[in-house]
Amino acid sequence: MFSNKSILITGGTGSFGRAFVKTVLERHPDIKRLVIYSRDELKQFEMSQTFSERQYDGLRYFIGDIRDENRLRRALEGIDIVIHAAALKQVPAAEYNPFECIKTNVLGAQNLIEACLDADVQQVVALSTDKAAAPINLYGATKLCSDKLFVAANKIKGKRDIRFSVVRYGNVMGSRGSVIPFFQQRRSTGVLPITDPAMTRFNISLDDGVKMVLWAIKNALGGEILVPKIPSYRITDVAQAIGPECEHPVVGIRPGEKIHEEMITSSDSLNTVDLGAYYAILPSADDDIRREYLARPDVSAVPVGFAYDSGTNTEFLTVDQLRDLIAGLQA
């Protein structure tokens, strides 16, 4: 799949970026070029201690911000595939600094689209979030806008041979800023604060997130938003798995938070198909991609009114399963 290909990943020093780079280098150590594009020189230095340019001839570290279109254009020279993982993701920070989030998540996305069109990139896979479905916070709204930009980019590519797709999934287990490392840090205090006892979230491992992006690179037609079928967890079960001996006071949800997260709304059901391991939300104005997907024997349209949210999900992780998964993160 990556024979003689050059790949760039924005936000490449983040949790997903590190996992993606690790997987690609393990499977394709002789890759032509793998560019880690991010704005934090310290994180790039730290990452280079594990993934060295001396060890991997095709590896490159490129300091830059997706807000800077000129720098993006320089970084994209000769690149075939782009994975877009850069974003401002913290919900409270986005509520307090809304336009900073817009600059990165929306204007940065459009900068990347324009630069990819001009650089003859062949494929772009953008990472999204469950918070982009029926958003109630600024972060989710910016990611919904970003998703729309990447989907619509397929309509302005002209005769260029390029595909833009989106991968949308839930909380990545153990990622920086998520509830599991927060609870682990607080366990020694004897208190794990619970926002709301009814709260649920989707859960995906870093490995499964990488696997899904690799699947999208190989299979996506362009214009779809891909959604994985993944389990949910209850926040109370996470607290029980990490600190059963701790107190679990209820402190209330933070500004912009939902009790349950959605990935496919009932309004999306008219344009959603079931691919087996994944769902695909198709662009409403593109009958060709719908016909192409439904022509496949293992693909079917979801029922009208179908919705996919963490509270009504059919699969939930138990406390023991959560404990085992968390132990695996520490191994």
Q: How confident is the model over 296-314, as pLDDT tens digits?
A: 999 999 999 999 999 999 9
Q: Name 222's Cβ contacts closer than 8 Å, sequence gap at least 6.
A: 154, 162, 163, 164, 165, 289
Give the pair of three-digit tokens for residue 77.
Answer: 């020279």
261 vs 202: CA distance, rounded Å: 7
Give pLDDT, residue 179.
87
Q: How confident is the model at residue 134 (pLDDT cuts 50, 70, 90)?
A: very high
The SS3 assignment for 249 reads: coil
Active site residues: 131
Give pLDDT, residue 331.
57
72 vs 94: CA distance, rounded Å: 24
What is the secondary structure of 181-214 as a DSSP string?
HHHHHHGGGTB--BS-TT-EEEEE-HHHHHHHHH
Q: How confident is the model over 4-38, as pLDDT tens digits?
A: 899 999 999 999 999 999 999 999 988 999 999 99
20 vs 40: CA distance, rounded Å: 18
Where residue 246 falls (left for φ over 0; alpha for ψ -120 to 50; beta otherwise) is beta
Spatial contact of 301 and 274, defined as CB atoms under 8 Å apart = yes
25 vs 28: CA distance, rounded Å: 5
Give pLDDT, residue 153.
97
Residues in the chain: 331
Spatial contact of 76 and 8, defined as CB atoms under 8 Å apart = yes
Average pLDDT over residues 305-331: 91
Q: How confident is the model over 213-241, as pLDDT tens digits?
A: 999 999 999 999 999 999 999 999 999 99
Q: Does residue 244 carry a pLDDT above 80?
A: yes
Q: For residue 7, list its beta bridge partners.
A: 34, 81
Give the pair of three-digit tokens for residue 267.
Answer: 């309004």
Q: How confident is the model over 184-201, as pLDDT tens digits?
A: 999 999 999 999 999 999
Q: Name 27's Cβ contacts closer than 8 Å, sequence gap at least 6.
A: none
Q: Does residue 81 carry a pLDDT above 90?
A: yes
Domains of the chain (ranges; CATH) run: 6-170+204-230+264-308 (3.40.50.720)
What's 298's DSSP letter?
Answer: T
**Summary mean pLDDT of the chain:** 94
Give the pair of three-digit tokens for residue 156.
Answer: 């302005």
Average pLDDT over residues 103-112: 98
Q: How confident is the model at residue 172 (pLDDT cuts 50, 70, 90)?
A: confident
Tell which wins on pLDDT, 2 or 270: 270
Spatial contact of 143 and 131, defined as CB atoms under 8 Å apart = yes
Q: Does residue 330 carry a pLDDT above 70?
A: no
4 vs 1: CA distance, rounded Å: 9
